[in-house]
């Protein structure tokens, strides 16, 4: 192994690393598929995800810049008598210390390999991904293969959503909330990246340490399109790579027992609209799920604006599904605990599992991947005449497109080639949507560094 000192973007390392467990034994067919650079091969996908993991800690959230900076990065699978090794050329130096790959980075790297191989081999062949029940089963199998379902205790998993680009006072607040969760023995699941995804985990580690909890769960769920912009933070001890954003979102809501939303930008709005759209479906009227929006006192205006947007576009019923708590981390944790009691009672009555919510109804519109393009964005129907859960589904898609144009490699290139996505909406939706997005831009919630160039235009 040869390395170059420093941990900045330009540092590079050549290395060989060995996996543990089942990845010691990949079939020749699996190896060939991983190294196939052609259409249908897994190499481009594996390379992008691996580079994102190795580059964890960067302040760059433009996937294209990361991939361009390491355009010479290469991966090769080497077969040896006792198994396989990964050989890397021109890898980010920040993933190594004294010439050795950091253990957490290595774990994340092979989580990527595990999930890519499993999804390719098992999911497409075994499941009908046009059928809602089959999609739910596929997500369960990915999570089970990643060993994210092994916990058998009482409901304790809090999903935390929020922006990767947030100011310091909001980040510090997420740590305080995580600390209160940790003191109460609760586990944390996030999108695995920086900002509001890292803070709750960091706080929870201190709370767990005080309570002498040595097996705390810090689950990170991501997908290939976003992992470069939001690489796994070092606290994540269970990383899962879902095939796309829709399956990632379903994994969150089926795994969790409660959800906390911190301030964020377009990605956080997408998550909120996805969840509210599901909860507003008549089939989920009796589903207990504690949902709290929270931040420091400096974020009170953000939540007023978000609450106003939800009320104007989705109605009063949507506003009844969450509680806003400002500047009170302990109360947020207590609200989760109270809600978990209701979740436990409900699951016991229904005979549903604690570790995977099978009874939550997720309509097909929320499961099918939305392929972002100029035509798809322009074709979204956003009117007040739609049933509320369908309106939420299309609003979620609109925000998904904005996220793609902001930070995903393919979306960024589409914007460069053809200009901003155009979103058509009736005035009752266009006004609140434009107001909310302008607020995100003004508060610099769309990008970590540099000036934000809008990826959208509302018509």
Q: According to the model, what pLDDT value does residue 83 have?
A: 64
Tell me: do 148 and 261 sit in the same domain.
Answer: yes
Domain-located, residue 134: no
Among 388, 368, 369, residue whose Cα is nearest residue 312:
388
Q: According to the model, what pLDDT value does residue 450 have?
A: 67
Q: According to the model, what pLDDT value does residue 437 have?
A: 92
Domain-located, residue 136: no
Higher-pLDDT residue of 12, 199: 199
Task: Give the model's confidence band at 9: pLDDT under 50 very low, under 70 low, under 90 confident, else very high.
Answer: very low
- For the chain, what is the domain count? 3
Task: Give the model's confidence band at 23: pLDDT under 50 very low, under 70 low, under 90 confident, else very high.
Answer: low
Domain-located, residue 391: yes
Q: According to the model, what pLDDT value does residue 24 have?
A: 55
271 pLDDT more than 60? yes
Task: Give the model's confidence band at 361: pLDDT under 50 very low, under 70 low, under 90 confident, else very high.
Answer: very high
For 240-254, what is the mean pLDDT?
96
Last residue of a domain, one of 91, 123, 155: 123
Last residue of a domain, one of 67, 96, 123: 123
For 236-258, what is the mean pLDDT?
96
Among 277, 233, 230, residue whose Cα is nearest residue 253:
277
For the record, the structure tokens of 287 come out as 């589903």
Tell me: do 190 and 311 sit in the same domain.
Answer: yes
Query: How is the chain split among helix, strand and coil, in percent rounded to 5?
Result: 50, 15, 35
Tell me: do 163 and 279 sit in the same domain.
Answer: yes
Q: According to the model, what pLDDT value does residue 203 have?
A: 98
Classified as helix, coil or strand, 365 is helix
DSSP character at residue 448 = S
Backbone CA torsion sign across 20, 22, 25, 28: negative
Q: According to the model, what pLDDT value does residue 8 have?
A: 43
- Per cent of the chain over pLDDT 90 is 62
Tell me: do 158 and 119 sit in the same domain.
Answer: no
145 pLDDT more than 60? yes
Tell me: do 312 and 421 sit in the same domain.
Answer: no
Tell me: do 183 and 284 sit in the same domain.
Answer: yes
Q: Domain of 323: which CATH number?
A: 3.40.50.450
Last residue of a domain, one of 315, 350, 385: 350
For the record, the structure tokens of 15 come out as 């290395």
Tell me: do 110 and 146 sit in the same domain.
Answer: no
Domain-located, residue 359: no
Higher-pLDDT residue of 7, 315: 315
Among 155, 124, 122, residue whose Cα is nearest residue 141:
122
Tell me: do 369 and 344 sit in the same domain.
Answer: no
Report DSSP letters for 290-317, one per residue: -EEEEE-GGGHHHHHHHHHHHHHHH-HH
φ and ψ of 293, to 5 deg = -95, 130
Domain-located, residue 356: no
Task: Give the model's confidence band at 4: pLDDT under 50 very low, under 70 low, under 90 confident, else very high.
Answer: very low
For 188-200, what is the mean pLDDT?
94
For 155-160, what is the mean pLDDT?
96
Q: According to the model, what pLDDT value does residue 443 have?
A: 87
For the record, the structure tokens of 91 come out as 């890898």
Q: Domain of 84: which CATH number?
A: 3.30.1850.10
Among 258, 257, 255, 252, residue whose Cα is nearest residue 155:
257
Tell me: do 407 and 295 sit in the same domain.
Answer: no
Task: Give the model's confidence band at 25: pLDDT under 50 very low, under 70 low, under 90 confident, else very high.
Answer: low
Q: According to the model, what pLDDT value does residue 1 have?
A: 35
398 pLDDT more than 80? yes
For 13-20, what is the mean pLDDT?
71
Q: Average per-residue pLDDT in the chain?
A: 89
pLDDT in tens, 70-95: 888 888 877 776 667 888 888 888 88
Higher-pLDDT residue of 235, 94: 235
Tell me: do 97 and 171 sit in the same domain.
Answer: no
Q: CA–CA separation, 238 vs 255, rounded Å?
A: 13
Domain-located, residue 454: yes
Tell me: do 55 and 94 sit in the same domain.
Answer: yes
Residue ranges of E strands in 327-446? 421-423
Tell me: do 196 and 87 sit in the same domain.
Answer: no
Q: According to the model, what pLDDT value does residue 241 have?
A: 96
Domain-located, residue 135: no
Beta-strand relationship, 323-326 and 291-295: parallel
- Parent domain of 421: 365-458
**Which letter, b or e, does each residue of 91-121 get, where b requires 16 or more Cβ atoms within 10 Å of its Cβ?**
bbbbbbeeeebeebbbbbbbbbbbbbbbbbe
Q: According to the model, what pLDDT value does residue 10 have?
A: 44
Higher-pLDDT residue of 111, 225: 111
Q: According to the model, what pLDDT value does residue 3 have?
A: 36
Q: According to the model, what pLDDT value does residue 235 have?
A: 95
Beta-strand relationship, 218-222 and 187-190: parallel
Q: Other C-beta atoms within 10 Å of 442: how many?
A: 10
For the record, the structure tokens of 89 come out as 């050329």
Q: According to the model, what pLDDT value does residue 294 have?
A: 98
Find the helix packing angle between 43-54 and 103-118, rounded to 10°.
160
Q: According to the model, what pLDDT value does residue 244 have?
A: 93
Round to the nearest angstrom and report the end-to-end CA distance of the chain: 55
Domain-located, residue 309: yes
Cβ neighbours for 108, distance < 8 A, ≥ 6 positions apart: 53, 56, 232, 236, 239
- Per cent of the chain over pLDDT 70 is 92
């Amino acid at each position: 192994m040869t390395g170059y000192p420093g941990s900045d973007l330009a540092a590079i390392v050549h290395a060989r690393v060995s996996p543990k467990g089942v990845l010691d034994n990949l079939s020749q067919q699996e190896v060939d598929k991983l190294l196939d650079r052609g259409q249908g091969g897994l190499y481009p996908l594996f390379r992008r995800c691996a580079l994102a993991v190795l580059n964890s800690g960067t302040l760059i959230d433009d996937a294209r810049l990361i991939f361009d900076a390491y355009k010479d990065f290469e991966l090769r699978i080497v077969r040896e008598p006792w198994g396989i090794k990964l050989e890397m050329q021109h890898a980010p130096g920040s993933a190594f210390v004294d010439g050795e790959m950091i253990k957490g980075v290595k774990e994340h790297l092979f989580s990527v390999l595990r999930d890519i191989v499993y999804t390719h081999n098992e999911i497409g062949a075994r499941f009908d991904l046009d059928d809602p029940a089959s999609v739910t089963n596929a997500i369960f199998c990915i999570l089970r293969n990643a060993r994210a379902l092994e916990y058998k205790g009482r409901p304790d998993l809090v999903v935390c959503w929020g922006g990767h680009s947030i100011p310091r006072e909001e980040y510090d607040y997420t740590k305080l909330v995580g600390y209160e969760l940790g003191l109460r023995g609760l586990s944390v699941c996030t999108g695995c990246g920086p900002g509001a995804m890292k803070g709750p985990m960091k706080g929870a580690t201190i709370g767990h340490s005080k309570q002498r909890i040595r097996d705390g769960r810090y689950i990170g769920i991501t997908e290939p399109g976003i992992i470069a912009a939001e690489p796994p933070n070092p606290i994540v001890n269970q990383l899962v790579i879902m095939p796309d954003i829709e399956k990632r979102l379903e994994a969150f809501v089926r795994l969790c027992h409660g959800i906390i939303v911190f301030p964020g930008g377009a990605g956080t709005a997408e998550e909120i609209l996805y969840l509210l759209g599901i909860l507003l479906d008549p089939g989920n009227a009796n589903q207990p799920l504690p949902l709290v929006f929270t931040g420091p006192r400096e974020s009170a205006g953000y939540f007023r604006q978000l609450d106003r947007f939800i009320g104007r576009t989705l109605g009063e019923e949507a506003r009844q599904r969450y509680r806003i708590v400002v500047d009170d981390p302990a109360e947020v944790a207590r609200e989760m605990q109270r809600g978990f009691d209701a979740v436990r009672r409900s699951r016991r009555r229904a005979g549903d599992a604690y570790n995977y919510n099978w009874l939550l109804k997720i309509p097909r519109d929320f499961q099918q991947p939305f392929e972002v393009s100029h035509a798809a964005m322009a074709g979204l129907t956003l009117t007040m005449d739609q049933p509320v859960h369908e309106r939420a589904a299309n609003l979620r898609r609109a925000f998904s497109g904005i996220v793609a144009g902001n930070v995903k490699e393919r979306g960024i290139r589409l914007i460069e080639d053809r200009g901003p996505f155009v979103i058509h909406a009736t005035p009752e939706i266009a006004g609140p949507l434009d107001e909310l997005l302008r607020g995100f831009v003004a508060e610099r919630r769309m990008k970590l560094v540099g000036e934000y160039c809008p990826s959208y235009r509302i018509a």
